Each structure stands twice: as C-alpha cells, then as structure tokens.
Structure 1
Amino acid sequence: MKRRQFLKRTGLGLAVAGGGLAAGNAMAGNRYYSGPVSDHFDGKIFFNPGGKEPRGVLDLLRWQFDGKRTAWPTSLPPVTPAKPERRIEGNRLVVTMVGHATMLIQTAGLNILTDPVWSERASPVSFAGPKRATPPGITFDALPPIDIVIVTHNHYDHLDVATLKRLGQSHAPRVITPLGNDTIIHDAHPFNNTVVMDWGDRVDLGNGIVFHCEPCHHWSARGMGDRRMALWAAFLIETPGGKIYHIGDTGFAEGQNYHAIRQKHGDIRLAILPIGAYEPRWFMKAQHQDPAEAIEGFRLTAAAFGIGHHFGTFQLTNEGIDAPPQALVHAMRAAGIAENRFQGLRPGQQFDVPLAVS
C-alpha cells in the first residue's frame, strides 16, 4: 500500500478507529486527569478490570496490509435530512439519527446530542483519515436548542472538537463526559457547564432527569502518547418516561456490563448500542461488538426497544457498508426478536419509541 493511501485509511496512525489503532505510553504522567487510584485507574491510565487491552502496532500493521477491506460504494442514495421538532414533551421519546454515533434524543422537554460529529472526517486533520460517506441526517442549522451533549470517550469519531466548538458558540449546552475528556473539550471551547463523571457516579438534573455513568469495555487515545489517559463510559439516563441506556463503543466482554446494568437499573425503555466497526474479529473483538453480540446484550438488558448505531457513515474497519444492518436482521431473527423492537437507523431516520409497558 502506498504511504498516502495508508495515511488516508488510518488517520495518520492516531487512534481514529476506536479500538482499531493503538498508541504508545510515551508520557511520564497523565496529561488529562489526576486523581486517586481506583479499580479502573492505576494513577496514570484507565483500564477495564479483568478485561483485554487494545492490540498494538504490529497487529495494526498486519490488519492494515491484509487486503481484506471491503470497498464502500462511491455513490450512495441521497440522505433526506430530518427536521426535528423543537421540543418533545412528557413521556414521548424520539431519537433522530445524524450519523455514526451522533443522535438527537428528545424527551421530557430536553434535547440531548450524543457524540456530536458534523465534520467531514473523523480524524485529527482535515486532509486524511476516515471521510464521511453520507451527510448528516440533521443539518447543523436545523438543530433544535441543544441542552445536553454526551461525549462518551475521546476517539475522533466520537469527540470532534470542531463540532463541540460550534455547539458551544451557538447552543451553550451542558456537556456530560467521563474523567479526563473535559480537558480536551475545554481546549476547544470553554464550556460554562461541564459535568465530569467517573464510573458509578450519578448526577440529578431535576425534573426526573438523572444521569448515571457506567462501565463499558473500550479504551481511549487521540495521539501517540495519551493511550487510556481519559476514561470511556456508557450512560444510563433516567427520564419521566423511562430509562435510556446509551453506549458509544464497547466490546461485548462476555456480557458482564449488560448483566450489571440490568441488575442495577432494572427496566429499560430504550437501549442504544453500537453494531458496527467490528471486522476483522481477531483485531476488533475485544473493543467493538458485532451485531450478534449487540443483540445478545440487548437481550441481557431486557430493554423494551433498541437502536443500533456506529455504522454506515465512516469506514473504520473491513466490513462493507451494508454488512452491519444485514447481520443485525439475521441476529434478531435468530434471537426471536421482532424487527420493530431494535432498529438500525440510517442518517435522517427517526424512531418514535413506544412507551414500554411492564
């Protein structure tokens, strides 16, 4: 592979693919976070208790040069951008797909954005790295007032400083993120209201809205010297209309976190789970679940409804653009789950989530 092609695919080797690119521990200390040792922080870096570390550079090169990447089409059907309502009140819950892991969640009068990325590339630079295959499912100017932004971790396909700066200037939202990510975010824009959470923390925002920060099996890095210096997390959101479980990225990890979320939080109305960026399995399995694992996780949570994301926008890994939704359908049929219960949303599509009935 030519050097230019390699740089375009890997984003200059800087941890673009969330579990796809490893970086070294070159720093003597942690540039993002300083805090007490815990069961998932050793004083310098975060880790998955009992879990698996991301693979290293030699495995990365083996993957990048294996020649097994499925080409995505150069021409795709046009996206019809959604025009979301300004507010969704009461128990109604509507989720609109923007693309990849970016979704607009509307309920109880709140507008919540997850891992917002409106940039053309999921990369530290504008000239290389994974390029957007489809335009955003909501144009930036069509966004309703954004109250809360969730940033689950610092990989470039989830933490986009250019988009966060735009949101800070035009919406001034509250930002909720795991430990250490606030340092990166504040370098882009000095948000006035940032909530920084560790696993197990809860924040009560009033009016029946409570955010819980929960474990998921992943990692973090933005460069060659900051591997696992910022925390990654899932979030459980209590709302008047039910609980929403949102994961930006995770490996299945024998379902341990899904078991724990069910035991701790009980009934869940909606589980939002990643289903893409999973091939080759020998490289990605520990950090990115595949659709079958996502459906098993959905089953373990006993959530009433689900949404699959993290596919079809940025080509980070080997599978074809339609492979995740196709595999999702097969996994749902094998598990006996009705198609209306778990939906893999495309950009611009909305899911008006039924009220779960116990």
Structure 2
Amino acid sequence: MAEICAFCQSSTGNCWNSGLRWQLAPGRRFPQGKRYTLLRPDGHLLMNPPTEPQLSWLGHASFLFQYRGLNVLTDPVLSERASPFQLVGPKRFTPPALTVADMPPIHQVLISHNHYDHLDEATVRQLHRRFGASLCFCIPMGLRRWFEKRGIHNLVELDWWQSKPMAAGNEVFCLPAQHFSGRTATDTNTSLWCSWLLEMDGFRFYFGGDTGYGRVFRDIGKLFAPIDLALERQGISEAAFRVMQHGEVWLLPD
C-alpha cells in the first residue's frame, strides 16, 4: 500500500488527480504481453452445450455463459478498437474468439456500464440485427435512452439491489460495483455501473463487470453466498492504474 499512497496522495490528502498524474508520468511502461495461439470455441458444443454450465471467453470482459438452454453474453465487445472511432483508440491484441454469426441464439446480454471497452455500439447493433426482439439487454439505470435511440426496446433496466424474473426461466439481479461511467467529457457518472447475478434452478452466476475491490463483495456475499461461478476482472499490473480506473480509494488512508 505504501507505493499506492505515495503515488496518488496530493498535499491535501486526496487522490482525485492521481489518474492524470499517472498518465502523464515519464517512462510509464506496461509489461510486455505474452502471445498465445488463438483457440476457437467448439462450434458443435456451442450449439449443443452439455447439461452442466458452459463458459466461453471471447476476450476482455466478453463471455458466453450457457446453462440448460439459456445463452447469456456479458459486455460483448467484438470491434477492433474500444473507441467511438475505429481509426483511433485502444486496439485489441487478439481477435475475438467468436463473431455474432458464429453464436448460438442469445437470450440475454448483461451490460455492466457504458465505457467503450464494455459497451460497443457496433456489436450491440449486430446482435440486435441477428436476434431482434428475442434478445433482451439487461442494463443499469440510465442507459435506456442510449439503446432506444438505436431502435432497441427489449430492455430490463435496473437499479442496484433490484431484480427481474426473465422469460427464459432465470432471475437477474443488478448488484453494486465500485467503478464509474461515462463515454464523453460531459456525461461522467450520469448512468449507473453495476455487477450482475443470474440465478437459474439453484445455480448462481456472478459477473463483476469492472468493479474494484471493496465492501460490495461482503454485501453481495451476505445475500447470495454461495455463488457457483464468478467472473471477476484481473490483470491490471500497475497499482496506480488500479486506483485510478477502478475507484479503490477506500483502501487509502484519510
């Protein structure tokens, strides 16, 4: 913790400007990433999943969860860049494991928040074109207008601690997360960010979105433990970036 505190504390003791300071620091380097052979999911298993839960990682926070005939996507981003423009912005290192055309019928999409690496307009439009009104997007409060402007109306919009029984036979719970939202310089935190829990036939599947570590895990665990399958973000190597990106300021001294 000493490294984090020394880096981000200002003379006033707060950490509000640590993100900008980190980005502008000279000599900033990310560790060299490893390259692995891209494995495509088995098409037969995707279309004919086993009776036990099946999970396919598509890249970053995008997963395909399948259980008892239910097919659910989390934060699907299949574009080359996480950006409003495909000519500039963060570029993926590895192609997505699936295209929309490769997918089985998708029943639900869980969106955790509206950052470009978690809510991708091109992917959302492709999913809507292929699956139409049979596909339901589960979204945190404040994102309805974004989807409706794009002609998508099969939406479940929830606040933290709200839930909704779904037509596919499961129940979705919108749960707290420690993060933030925003797609432009003027809409920061004007929509909610969240994690999700899906419960079906006694099986509990948790998707943490981009949440940082905090009391949310204790609160969620009190109500929903045990959780059978949990997806939680990992891999950010620099402590200062973790603080900036995922709001873990409660870990810092006053």
Bucket of the pairwise TM-score, normalised by the shorter protein: 0.7 to 0.9
Match of 2:23 in 1: 63
Q: Which runs of 5+ in 2 are unaligned?
A: 1-13
1:24-60 CA-to-partner distances (Å, cap 9, x unmatched) read: xxxxxxxxxxxxxxxxxxxxxxxxxxxxx9844x742
Q: 5 Å matches for 1:1-358?
A: 55-56=16-17, 59-70=19-30, 72=32, 76-82=35-41, 83=43, 84-88=45-49, 90=51, 92-172=52-132, 173-187=135-149, 189-206=150-167, 208-253=169-214, 256-279=215-238, 281-285=239-243, 287-288=245-246
1:128-151 CA-to-partner distances (Å, cap 9, x unmatched) read: 111010011123321111111111
Task: Please provide the CA RMSD for this pair.
Answer: 2.5
Question: How big is the shift at 1:89?
Answer: 6.4
Conserved 8 A contact 1:108-1:240: no
Question: How big is the shift at 1:72?
Answer: 3.9
1:334-353 CA-to-partner distances (Å, cap 9, x unmatched) read: xxxxxxxxxxxxxxxxxxxx
Question: How big is the shift at 1:87?
Answer: 4.7
Equivalent position SS for 1:261: helix
Equivalent position SS for 2:246: coil
- For 1:269, give the aligned amino acid: D
Match of 1:35 in 2: none
Tell me, in whole angstroms, the C-alpha distance in 1 between the residues paired with 2:78 and 2:202.
Answer: 29
Tell me, in whole angstroms, the C-alpha distance in 2 between the residues paired with 1:70 and 1:192.
Answer: 41
Equivalent position SS for 2:216: helix
Q: Which has the higher contact order (CA 8 A, sep 6+)?
A: 1
Question: How big is the shift at 1:236?
Answer: 1.1
% identity of equivalent residues:
33
Q: Which runs of 5+ in 1 are unaligned?
A: 1-52, 294-358
Question: How big is the shift at 1:262?
Answer: 1.4
1:219-277 CA-to-partner distances (Å, cap 9, x unmatched) read: 00101100100100011110115101111101112xx1111111111321111111133
Equivalent position SS for 2:221: helix
Question: How big is the shift at 1:287?
Answer: 4.4
Cα separation, partners in 2 of 1:278 and 1:232, compared to 1, 3 Å: farther
- For 1:70, give the aligned amino acid: F
Tell me, in whole angstroms, the C-alpha distance in 2 between the residues paired with 1:72 and 1:223.
Answer: 30
Total equivalences in the alignment: 232
Tell me, in whole angstroms, the C-alpha distance in 1 between the residues paired with 2:106 and 2:224.
Answer: 26
Conserved 8 A contact 1:175-1:195: yes
Question: How big is the shift at 1:62?
Answer: 3.9
